[in-house]
Amino acid sequence: MNLYVYGLNHRSAPLVVREQAMIAHEHLAPALQSILNEDGILEAVILSTCNRCEFYAIADNGRRLEQWMAKQHHKGDGSYQQYTYLYSGEEAVAHLLRVAIGLDAQVMGEPQILGQVKAAFATALDVGAAGPELNHLFQQIFNSAKSIRNDTGLGAHAISASYLTWLMIQRCIPVDKSASVVLVGAGEMIANLIPYLQQAPQLDITLINRTPENAEALLPTAKVLTMSFLLESLIDCDVAVFATESYHPLLTRDAVQTILTQRSKPLYCLDLALPRNVEANVTECAHVSLFNLDDIQLWVDENQDKRQQAATRAEEAIKEHSRRYQKQLQTIEFDELIKSYRRKINSVRELELNKALQKLQEGVEPAVVLQQFSHALANKVMHHPSQALNQARFEKSKDWLASAKLLLGLE
């Protein structure tokens, strides 16, 4: 059994593919149970965000994860496989560390990703999908991620997707003048964006959410509306930011065309959701601009060089932490091997000893019993090593023969 990582992310797959692969939070538990029903998969964690869908598993073969994805998630359509990656062992540990510290994030060093990894692991624990090996791994990852971010300065130069969204809003409208912004949703992305918007008190902010109480808790001073008022609110706004978990588009091309008949200025839409909240073809309408998650990749801030230097230091730390973790695993494996071997030999010894004691009770001469006991014990201890040596005679190298001699105490 080994650790495997299988999946796709914003680097390997375009938005439309990530959208198809995404597993919503409410579907994570049944998906984990389904994965564990696959032969050869003992433990699993699913990390599904707007920028990645990854499967971490203890399995006998990483292709088990690929097979599950093909059968359950894509109904046999293998066209997405060109966008996926598969890592194992130390390489898999290094990848998980890159993800956890934000080095593999769309915005390098973004701190929110560590919380997403912790939430994914907690879900796996709750449904019993994360066992002792993944539990040990993720606890090590959380500790290592914190120290790497602190030691390398990666966290000090990090910027968030919310901050980049704020920069995009500033480029869309002159925030030093009166303008109207509509925020659709009340999740983490909107919550993280609001503090930036509050830096421009002249902005008129409207929050739209299915549950108004959740929106009011984010910004009590804002106008709060239900989803039924969405189209009406877009008639006068300058920028609309969408970040809900809806599986269906909230804003269609036909709806935009209707809105435009009542507008006299450009409409800027920022779609930060996955699946997307805004139909891509709204840009066919005049005076409408649409930005999505992939557009964030095009934005670079003045701290890029500093973050890159921190990233270089982080890569070195990742290699060291990954090697250290693999050594820990090897130590645990060898300890378990030694314990298992001792248990096996003791089991053989107890079996033969009980036979000998039985013969003594039956009146067999002690000398005869001892002779039989010693021969039986020796034969059973030597049986499996001798059998393995015979089978390996024409298959193994001289190095293997030297190792066998060392293990058997013949050198």
User: How many angstroms separate the Cα of 181 from the Cα of each of 148, 196, 235?
Assistant: 38, 12, 11
Residue entry with tokens 């959701």: 273
Instruction: Please give the structure tokens belonging to residue 380.
Output: 């059973």
- What is the distance between the alpha carbons of residues 2 and 271, in angstroms, rounded to a whole number? 39
CB 228 within 8 A of CB 199: no
- What is the distance between the alpha carbons of residues 107 and 101, in angstroms, rounded to a whole number? 11
The values of phi and psi at residue 279, to 5°, are -65, 135
- What is the distance between the alpha carbons of residues 68 and 59, in angstroms, rounded to a whole number? 12
Q: How do 203-208 and 85-88 pair as beta strands?
A: unpaired
- What is the distance between the alpha carbons of residues 348 and 369, in angstroms, rounded to a whole number? 16
Residue entry with tokens 């994360």: 130
Instruction: Please give the structure tokens belonging to residue 125.
Output: 């624990």
Q: Is 103 helix (H, G, I), strand (E, B) or coil?
A: coil
- What is the distance between the alpha carbons of residues 57 and 36, in angstroms, rounded to a whole number? 9
At residue 43's C-alpha, the angle toward residues 39 and 47, to 5°, is 115
At residue 185's C-alpha, the angle toward residues 184 and 190, to 5°, is 95
At residue 242's C-alpha, the angle toward residues 239 and 245, to 5°, is 175
User: How many angstroms separate the Cα of 125 from the Cα of each of 36, 108, 118, 133, 184?
Assistant: 13, 28, 10, 12, 32
Given 50, 53, 172, 237, the catalytic residue: 50
Active site residue 50: yes
Q: For the CA atoms of 311, 317, 320, 325, what is the dihedral angle to 10 degrees?
A: -100
User: How many angstroms separate the Cα of 401 from the Cα of each of 30, 332, 396?
Assistant: 48, 25, 7
Amino acid identity of residue 143, one-letter, is: N
Give catalytic residues, as residue numbers.
Answer: 50
